[in-house]
Structure 1
């Protein structure tokens, strides 16, 4: 049975991804900053018939928390097959480039960018023990510099410096990590689940969490011939589903 860790999995897209992967027979560590809250969610999932899910405390901004989570997975599983770096924050709005403080920008980067690096580096040796390791960095179409430079893009006017910059940086990390691991069986990709209606955006997005989770899984649970170092988006109306960087 393949083992998955999803950060920020106690709600919205992360929670739905947990449910769908459980239904597909994978064992999922439901990452939550608040362990009690995560355990309560897992209890509810069990009552609804879901199996092979365990809540695990992980705060991606805290070294000790991440290391403790890694130790638990190592002790219980000995390896990790799939890491889905899903935890993310929007930050305070508005986010004007001319006035948003460095401290506010750093706060968003701590979760969306440095948090991903912290978790990935901590779990890398466990992923290397898998026959088919996968790392999916959950990004946003707002991280695309190409789209942000296109006045015809439907989200062109959304220029939130903290969030946008953090996701662009995350995309860059994805590219460099995929290249570094290219001679190993890793598949490392940036995945944009699309503009989805969640509490993250006050339920303003047109997409559903079911569609978002399904898209993430489609581009995560891939075979040995699957792509790596790509940027997939659920908002791209193209057969390839690839977003410009």
Structure 2
């Protein structure tokens, strides 16, 4: 039996998601590159394989129940799930003039998408010896820090994701599944208009750490490179 662990990273065709896939591949995981766009997905898999990573593509649109169910059916094994796919949403996001459809669209990916994918993958994760789930959040969702510009759809979506992570952790308390939220920091990707101060590899480091926690690792927390992030 092949004992190589498998990790699924959603939105892994570029940016932080791709860097997470690289990092998990470098420590020995087989990496499933989850992405909607077939060409970008294939290109990402090609790059990873050129670097020696055992990678394969998974067609995955986190906003589609059918797509998520098909992806779960395609995976024979899953040890780590990194819920990285996320969108900022159309802007500006002034709360006083906010279009609720923008909020709906952001939540559909950033929150509902996480629920869809996580719950579809649970039967596989439950079979893994050391299952880990990492939800990619942002300190913009912190009610304490209130960082970044006013983004009244995006920031609350990350606040909700942090709360959702805590709920999953409570539910998984008596199981092997360890779930945490990660803040990658302000990373230079197309998501930030390449204005960030950190590289995708730096942003991916905390996710890789949480994806490879020991069995007595923390549960239901929100972490960045420096440690616990205030909520």
Query: TM-score under structure 1 normalisation?
Result: 0.90
Q: What secondary structure is seen at the aligned counterpart in 2 of 1:6?
A: strand
Using the TM superposition, give the Cα deviation of residue 89 of structure 1 relative to its aligned residue in structure 2, in angstroms.
Answer: 0.3
What is the aligned partner in structure 2 of residue 63 from structure 1? 65
Using the TM superposition, give the Cα deviation of residue 42 of structure 1 relative to its aligned residue in structure 2, in angstroms.
Answer: 1.2
What is the aligned partner in structure 1 of residue 48 from structure 2? 45
Using the TM superposition, give the Cα deviation of residue 43 of structure 1 relative to its aligned residue in structure 2, in angstroms.
Answer: 1.9
Using the TM superposition, give the Cα deviation of residue 146 of structure 1 relative to its aligned residue in structure 2, in angstroms.
Answer: 1.4
Indicate whether 1:206 and 2:206 are aligned. Answer: no
What is the aligned partner in structure 2 of residue 11 from structure 1? 14
Q: What secondary structure is seen at the aligned counterpart in 2 of 1:105?
A: helix
What is the aligned partner in structure 2 of residue 243 from structure 1? 229
What is the aligned partner in structure 1 of residue 182 from structure 2? 191
Mean CA deviation greater in 218-227 or 33-42 = 33-42
Aligned residues: CA RMSD: 1.1
Whole-Å separation in 1 of the counterparts to 2:9 and 2:176: 20
Task: List gaps (5 residues or longer) in structure 1.
Answer: 149-154
Whole-Å separation in 1 of the counterparts to 2:29 and 2:78: 11
Whole-Å separation in 2 of the counterparts to 1:176 and 1:215: 21
Indicate whether 1:143 and 2:129 are aligned. Answer: no
Residues 31 and 53 in structure 2, CA contact (< 8 A), matched pair in contact too: no
Whole-Å separation in 2 of the counterparts to 1:141 and 1:82: 23
Whole-Å separation in 1 of the counterparts to 2:196 and 2:100: 28
Using the TM superposition, give the Cα deviation of residue 100 of structure 1 relative to its aligned residue in structure 2, in angstroms.
Answer: 1.2
Whole-Å separation in 1 of the counterparts to 2:40 and 2:210: 28
Aligned residues: 228
Task: List gaps (5 residues or longer) in structure 2.
Answer: none
Q: What secondary structure is seen at the aligned counterpart in 2 of 1:167?
A: helix
Q: What secondary structure is seen at the aligned counterpart in 2 of 1:146?
A: coil
- Sort the Cα spacing of 1:169 and 1:65 in 2 relative to 1 into closer, same or farther, 3 A: same
Structure 1 moving runs of 4+ over 6 Å = none
Indicate whether 1:232 and 2:223 are aligned. Answer: yes
Whole-Å separation in 2 of the counterparts to 1:61 and 1:128: 23
